Amino acid sequence: MSPDRRTFIRTLGAGTVAGLAGCSAFSDGEESTPTEEPEPTDTDGESTATPDETETETDVSTDADGSAGGDGPTIITLKAAGADIWNSTDLGHIYYAEVSGDFDARVHVTSLENTNPHAKAGLMARASLEPDSRNVMVRKRAGFGISPQWRPQDGASTTSTTSEQGAPLSRVEGGVMEDATWQRLQRVGDTIRAYGSENGEDWTLMVELTADQIEFPDTVVLGLAATSHDNANATTAKFRDLSGVEPTDNQDLGSPIISGSVSVAQAAVVSDLGAESSPEAATLQGTLESMGGADSVDVRYEYREATTDEWTATDATSVSEPGSVEIDVSGLTPRRYYEFRAIADTGDDEFGTVAQLFSTPSGSDGSSESGPESASQFDPSDGFADLAPWLDDDTPLAVVDEPTRESLAAATSIPGPRVVVFETSGTIDLGAEDLNVRNDRCWIAGQTAPSPGVTLTRGGLWFYGNECVVQHVRVRPGVAGQEQGWQPDAIEVADDTTGNVVDHCTATWGVDENLNVGYDTSDSTMTNCLVAEPLNDATHAKGEHGYNSIIGDRAKNVTLAGNVWGLGTDRNPRLKQGTETVVVNNFVHHYHDGMWADPETNHSIVGNVFEDPQTDQPNVFGEGSVYAEDNVQRDDASVPMIGDGITQLDSEPLWPEALEAVSSSEVRAHNLENAGARPADRTETDERIIRHIRNGEGGVIDHQDEVGGYPDLDENTQSLDVPTTGLRAWLREQARAVEP
């Protein structure tokens, strides 16, 4: 990678920062029914483009056949209002034809205005135009990805692959394709199939419905439908590359307050966007593919830093024939991601492209300095995980400059390697939803925030990407004003991930667990964390559930070192079936169950300290295979160290090369000094937890209000001075500055 110039380009699809700007993070189920389950990760950047980011044109009257003439691709614009296309009756708008027998329709959904996260648009087949007609829809929702929904009988309730009733039929995990922008609806005999695609060529089957699920007549209504999920406002949905059906008519579904409409136009299209960048400038490039029937087209680019709202426009270049268009921009910031898009103006209409992403390099000389190790005995690089092998001096920074969910979600959702840094402190209210880090290679550097750092409340932090790092962040979900069934984890490394590191974080007030490693993961490291006060009798569907940590089935090469597990009941931690872990120099205080090793597991459990047990359960119990050494009961409790069901090994079954255990005699004092976020700059809540553990005070709680409730941290700001060279060393220096 050149230190002073490089080319980087990526299309921004659903689930990226292009969809975040100005959009709500609301992600509850369909507002009109309690049965529609929220997507597990659709709260962070899943919205499609907002109105200022869409392909736009003035409405153009069409011929009866829907054509508009010209030499560019056809853009279909639906304007639709209505409460929803859902439940037992529909309110929206449809552009359709009647089709008999088999069909295979496909379309590219280029944009959907976010009037509500549950505004939707996509291909639909209906038995009739009656508002309660049975139907199948491949929906794009403004706040989510693509997923199918269907009403199995006239007047029946609608279900979907993300609803409880429809989820068992889903062919894709979670029932949704997050990055797909293409839809396909196919009928073969009595079988209906719904597909999604990211490119219009490689199709993924999302659901297959036979006559047992929905029975259609031979002739159906087939076309494009949309709804705003807002009685007072219409949404705008735009499509291109429709095939397999030629709509001839359009009408409202039901009687929405605002009538819908359809317009069709030929677009002047700019394609093949790219950028060549230096630290403070870039050449934006594209190809005018078609003139849209105009004699000349004015082409301009609009660009912005990826986590900001405002676009900057270049001067327009007038083009009289198809060809390449390059425009230089300056005044950029080194080591940042930028979005840009092309706008083609024919004089009558404007057509915009989907936003693209490029980054500016740092101008570094390529220094390989690594910086100081942790103040703790346990460095985040000591486990099996390779600590952010992707990080170099040109890795862009994503700046969080206000303590809001929207700002943090915009930074974490960028689809490329990024370091999330903070120019603000404060409490970030997640709004009773988890914040999900979907894309690989994200380093959330809480150590960069000014004092007193950042605390996330009313939701959990989940890592679905690989090779991510989070340091010096506090997460406190709590009850969040929710009813029974609200059961967030504080921090979770999700299933099927690899190479993730959680270091010096605080995880408290989880309702399911506090700090977890998911199923079928590999090479996960959790070091120097304060894991305490899980809520016991709160809102979990199973009742009492004051659990701290679980390592999911078949998780391999998990390192747990230097952590404090305190003031909970069970899972300190639970090592589930098929797991292989190294559990070293942790301190467990005030617990019912200690370390639970399930069958078919292998563990190196060394130098751990146990204090204040509440039962006579052995500290290490279960049916796993364990190498145990230097584990101690600090008080005079008559608790066996190793249970009878454990198979004791003569040597460590696994051990990371860089990890060095210390004597158990040092563990309690060391961990209480070093564990948790910013231990040299602890908040009052963390100070209280550490004090309770140190003094043998406190115990299991059921609600965060029992111990003072959610914190309201000071919102202090600072401008970060990041050196051109030595980004990794700088991150370590920032971490070391908030460690004792």
For CA atoms 611, 613, 616, 621, give the dihedral sign.
negative
In this prediction, residues 431-455 reach a mean pLDDT of 97
Which of 23-27, 206-210, 666-670 has the lowest average pLDDT? 23-27
The average pLDDT across 572-585 equals 98
Residues 6 or more apart whose CB falls under 8 angstroms from that of 355 comprise 12, 18, 49, 53, 339, 340, 341
The band of 74, judged by pLDDT with boundaries at 50, 70 and 90, is: confident
Buried b (16+ CB within 10 A) or exposed e, 229-245: bbeeebbbbbbbebeeb
pLDDT at res. 353: 86
The pLDDT assigned to 47 comes to: 28
Q: Which amino acid is at 359?
A: S
One-letter amino acid at 249 equals D
CB 227 within 8 A of CB 233: no
Q: Tell me the domains of the chain and their CATH numbers.
A: 11-266 (2.60.120.200), 268-359 (2.60.40.10), 397-707 (2.160.20.10)
Annotate 93-134 with DSSP letters as a single string.
Answer: EEEEEEEES-EEEEEEEEEE--SSTT-EEEEEEES-SSTT--
Q: Please say whether the beta carbons of 562 and 586 come within 8 A.
A: yes
Name the band, by pLDDT with cuts 50, 70 and 90, for residue 267. confident
What is the rounded CA–CA span in Å between residue 536 and residue 679? 26
pTM: 0.78
Q: Which of the four pLDDT bands, split at 50, 70 and 90, describes residue 625?
A: very high
**Phi, psi torsion values for 37, nearest 5 degrees:** -80, 145
Average pLDDT over residues 573-592: 98
Give the pLDDT of residue 71.
61
Angle at which helix 684-695 crosses helix 667-674, to 10 degrees, equals 170
Distance of alpha carbon 480 from alpha carbon 103, whole angstroms? 47
SS3 of 429-497: the string is ECCCCCEEECCCCEEEEHHHCCCCCEEEECCCEEECCCCCEEECCEEECCCCCCCCCCCCCCEEECCCC
Residue with more model confidence, 370 or 193: 193
Note whether 420 and 442 are within 8 A (CB). Answer: yes
**Which range, of 88-97, 347-356, 635-644, averages the lowest pLDDT?**
347-356
Q: In sequence order, which residues have a C-beta less than 8 Å from that of residue 655 and are 6 or more positions away? A: 582, 604
Cβ 740 vs Cβ 444: under 8 Å: no
Q: Which residues, other chains included, contact 615 with Cβ-Cβ below 8 Å and sequence gap of 6+? A: 592, 593
Is the distance from CB of 518 to CB of 497 less than 8 angstroms?
yes
Q: Determine the Cα–Cα distance for residues 408 and 274; give it in Å rounded to an integer.
A: 27
Report the C-alpha gap between 32 and 34 in whole angstroms: 7
For the CA atoms of 215, 219, 220, 221, the dihedral, rounded to the nearest 10 degrees, stands at -170
Strand 506-508 versus strand 530-532 pairing type:
parallel
Q: If DSSP codes are grouped into helix, strand and coil, which group holds residue 291?
A: strand
Question: Of 262, 252, 229, which is closest to residue 82 (Cα–Cα)?
Answer: 229
Q: Tell me the pLDDT tens digit for each residue of 392-421.
A: 999 999 999 999 999 999 999 999 999 999
Is the CB of residue 180 less than 8 Å from the CB of residue 141? no
Task: Give me the residue label for tokens 């403004």.
Answer: 142
The length of the chain, given as a count of residues = 740
First CA to last CA distance, the chain:
37
Of 12 and 274, the structure prediction assigns the larger pLDDT to 274
Per-residue confidence band for 352, with pLDDT thresholds at 50, 70 and 90: confident
- In order, the DSSP letters of 207-247 are EEE-TTT----SEEEEEEEEE-SEEEEEEEEEEEEEES---
pLDDT of 63: 33
Q: Which amino acid is at 403?
A: P
Tell me the C-alpha to C-alpha distance, in Å, between residue 479 and each of 345, 374, 431, 475, 529. Answer: 51, 34, 11, 13, 22
Distance of CA 444 to the CA centre of its chain: 13
pLDDT category at 369 given cuts 50, 70, 90 is confident
User: What's the burial of 521, exposed, middle or buried (CB within 10 Å: 0-12/13-18/19+)?
Assistant: buried
Cβ atoms of 471 and 505 closer than 8 Å: yes
d(CA 560, CA 524): 9
Sign, Cα dihedral of 383, 384, 385, 387? positive
261-266 sheet: strands from edge to edge: 204-209, 191-197, 182-188, 103-112, 230-243, 74-82, 261-266
- The distance of Cα 402 from the centroid of its chain, to the nearest Å, equals 19
**Element holding 522 (H helix, E strand):** strand 522-527
| Nearest by Cα to 528 from 398, 635, 378, 648 | 378
pLDDT band at 296 (very low <50, low <70, confident <90, very high): very high
Q: pLDDT tens for residues 23-71? A: 222 222 332 332 333 333 332 222 222 223 323 232 333 332 333 334 6
Q: In this structure, how many other beta carbons lie within 10 angstroms of the beta carbon of residue 171?
A: 15
Q: Which residues of 187-221 are buried (b: 16+ CB within 10 A; e: fewer)?
A: beeeebbbbbbbebeebeebbbbeeebbebeeebb
CA Rg value for the chain: 28
In the beta sheet, which residues pair with residue 123? Answer: 138, 224
Rounded distance between C-alpha atoms, residue 677 and residue 738, angstroms: 8
Task: Write down the pLDDT at residue 57.
Answer: 30
pLDDT, one tens digit per residue, over 539-556 is 999 999 999 999 999 999
Express each pLDDT in 324-339 by its tens digit. Answer: 999 999 999 999 999 9
> Which residue from 55, 456, 447 is spatially nearest to 271, judged by alpha carbons?
55
Give SS3 for 341.
strand
In 3-state terms, what secondary structure has residue 293?
coil
Interacting residues of 612 by C-beta distance below 8 A, sequence separation 6+: 589, 590, 591, 635, 637, 696
Instruction: Share the mean pLDDT of the chain.
Output: 90
